């Protein structure tokens, strides 16, 4: 999967070279190509923004500079995404569908945004990561790249992927590691029993309990198995 990121702040994306994504990049499973929009300024001072027509605070990114950066990576098979607070909120369903693409071009705004004419010309899909205000589209682009990359074949080990599809739509059961006793709190006995079927059942029950308690609306959306409904019934 190729990600082309159009941004004024390519250095912000350095953190993606760590951990699981770092390994995926080394293994060539994903390719993150950072394009500095400033490189496409024709101005001798490398200016990329200007004051808004009609007045008001802040600066607006120039359409010609953004368009030249876009044309440097455009290809007809790519899906083009504009990270904007006005976009549709990213969810796991969207993440999964984006992971089926070969090539994503992600446009990040900064300052007070981008001149509307280049947005109208490109006609990208608009995506937000939630209803709170950030300083730019870079952190949202990283959220999108991280969440989508997990679904690219080979990025996660097969075990995590199958466990995740089993627990899809539920909150996770609690996890424990050594030591066996921490501040007088013990690891649940069943997890030390080696009885894999009991462990599976206990974890499923914990997932359902925690979801029912913290995010009951998630259960309403879900098709539950007979086993799941029995566990939930036994809770009350």
Scanning the structure block, which residue is given the tokens 């080990």? 157
- Regarding 145 and contact with ligand 21W (CB under 6 A), the answer is no
- Regarding 113 and contact with ligand 21W (CB under 6 A), the answer is yes
Structural contact between residues 129 and 75, judged by C-beta atoms closer than 8 angstroms: no
Q: Helix, strand, or coil here: 2?
A: strand
DSSP β-bridge partners for residue 182: 185
- Regarding 146 and contact with ligand 21W (CB under 6 A), the answer is no
Strands (E), the chain: 2-7, 31-36, 49-50, 60-61, 79-89, 103-108, 125-128, 181-182, 185-186
State which residue, 81 or 170, has the beta carbon closest to ligand 21W: 81
Binding footprint of ligand 21W, residue count (CB under 6 A)? 16
> 45 is written with which tokens?
């001072």
- Regarding 136 and contact with ligand 21W (CB under 6 A), the answer is yes
State which residue, 23 or 79, has the beta carbon closest to ligand 21W: 79
Binding residues among 157-216 for ligand 21W as defined by CB under 6 A = none
- Regarding 130 and contact with ligand 21W (CB under 6 A), the answer is yes
Q: Residues 64, 68, 101, 112: which binds ligand 21W (CB under 6 A)?
A: 112
Binding range to ligand 21W, per CB under 6 A, among 82-90, 156-164, 172-180, 225-233? 82-90
- Regarding 9 and contact with ligand 21W (CB under 6 A), the answer is no
3-state secondary structure 38-74: HHHCCCCCCCCEECCCCCCCCCEECHHHHHHHHHCCC
Distance CA 67, CA 69 (A): 5
Q: How far is the CB of 79 from ligand 21W (least distance, A)?
A: 16
Binding residues among 92-111 for ligand 21W as defined by CB under 6 A = 109
State which residue, 136 or 169, has the beta carbon closest to ligand 21W: 136
3-state helix, strand, coil in the chain (%, to 5): 45, 20, 40
- Regarding 124 and contact with ligand 21W (CB under 6 A), the answer is no
CA neighbor of 31 nearest in space, from 106, 128, 95, 92: 106
- Regarding 84 and contact with ligand 21W (CB under 6 A), the answer is yes
Binding range to ligand 21W, per CB under 6 A, among 5-13, 126-134, 182-190, 224-232? 126-134
- Regarding 128 and contact with ligand 21W (CB under 6 A), the answer is yes
Distance CA 45, CA 37 (A): 14
Pairing type for strands 181-182 and 185-186 reads: antiparallel
Q: Residues 23, 25, 85, 224: which binds ligand 21W (CB under 6 A)?
A: 85
The site for ligand 21W (CB under 6 A) is made up of 83-85, 109, 112-113, 128-130, 132-137, 140
């Amino acid at each position: 999967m190729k990600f082309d990121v159009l941004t004024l702040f390519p250095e912000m994306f350095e953190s993606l070279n760590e951990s699981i994504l770092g390994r995926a990049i080394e293994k060539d499973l994903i390719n993150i190509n950072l394009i500095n929009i400033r490189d496409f300024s024709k101005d001798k001072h490398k200016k990329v923004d200007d004051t808004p027509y009609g007045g008001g605070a802040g600066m607006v990114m120039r359409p010609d500079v953004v368009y030249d950066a876009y044309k440097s990576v455009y290809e007809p098979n790519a899906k083009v995404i504009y990270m904007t607070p006005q976009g549709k909120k990213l969810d796991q369903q969207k993440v999964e569908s984006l992971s089926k693409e070969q090539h994503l071009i992600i446009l990040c705004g900064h300052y007070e945004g981008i001149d509307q004419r280049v947005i109208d010309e490109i006609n990208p899909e608009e995506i937000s990561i939630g209803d709170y205000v950030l300083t730019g589209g870079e952190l949202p682009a990283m959220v999108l790249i991280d969440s989508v990359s997990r679904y690219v074949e080979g990025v996660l080990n097969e075990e995590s992927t199958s466990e995740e599809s089993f627990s899809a739509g539920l909150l996770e059961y609690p996890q424990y590691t050594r030591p066996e006793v921490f501040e007088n709190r013990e690891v649940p006995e069943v997890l030390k029993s080696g009885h894999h079927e009991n462990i599976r059942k206990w974890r499923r029950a914990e997932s359902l309990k925690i979801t029912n308690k913290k995010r009951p609306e998630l259960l309403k959306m879900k098709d539950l198995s007979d086993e799941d409904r029995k566990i939930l019934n036994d809770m009350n």
